[in-house]
Amino acid sequence: MLEIDKLSVSYGTVHALQEVDLEIAGEGVLHGVIGPNGAGKSTLLDAVSGRRRPTAGAIRYRGQDITRRSVAWRRRRGMARSFQRTNIFQDLTVREQLSLVAWRLGDDRISDVIEVMDLGDYLEERAGRIAYGVQRRVDVALALIGRPQLLLLDEPGAGLSAEETLRLFQHVRDLVGERRIAAVVVEHDVDAVFACCGVVTVLDLGRHLATGVPAEIRADQRVITAYLGSAA
Partner 1 sequence: MNGQAATRVAYRRGAALVPSARGSRRILAGAAALLLFTIGAFAPQYLANDFLLRLADGGLLLGILALSIAFLMSQAGLVSLGAASVYGGVGYLFAIAMSQWYLSPLAAIVASMVVVTVYAAILGALIIRTTPLAFMMLTLAAGEMISHAVLLEGLRDYTSGADGLVVSFGGTLFGLEAGDFANSARFWPIVWTAAWAIGSAVWAVRRSRLGAVLRATRQNEERMRFSGFDTYGPRLAAFVLANVIAGACGLLHVLNSGFVSPESLGLGLSTNALVSALIGGTATSAGPLLGGVIFAFAQDQFGAHGLTQLLTGLAIVVFIVLFPSGVVGAWRDFAQWIWRNRNREAG
Closer CB to partner 1, 47 or 202, in the complex:
47
Helices (H), the chain: 41-49, 71-76, 94-105, 110-116, 132-144, 162-179, 190-196, 214-219, 221-223
Closer CB to partner 1, 40 or 50, in the complex:
50
Q: Which residues bind partner 1 (CB under 8 A)?
A: 49, 51, 70-72, 75-76, 80-81, 87-93, 95-110, 123, 142-143, 145-146
Number of neighbouring beta carbons within 10 Å of residue 52: 18
Closer CB to partner 1, 60 or 69, in the complex:
69
d(CA 24, CA 208): 14
The answer for residues whose C-beta is within 8 angstroms of residue 57's C-beta and 6 or more apart is 4, 5, 6, 7, 8, 19, 20, 67
Closer CB to partner 1, 98 or 209, in the complex:
98
Q: Provide the minimum distance between the beta carbon of 228 and partner 1 in the complex, in angstroms, as a whole number.
A: 32
Q: Provide the minimum distance between the beta carbon of 189 and partner 1 in the complex, in angstroms, as a whole number.
A: 23
Closer CB to partner 1, 105 or 205, in the complex:
105
Q: Which of 217, 192, 188 is nearest to 202 (CA)?
A: 217
d(CA 228, CA 132): 28
Q: Which of 173, 170, 185 is nearest to 41 (CA)?
A: 185
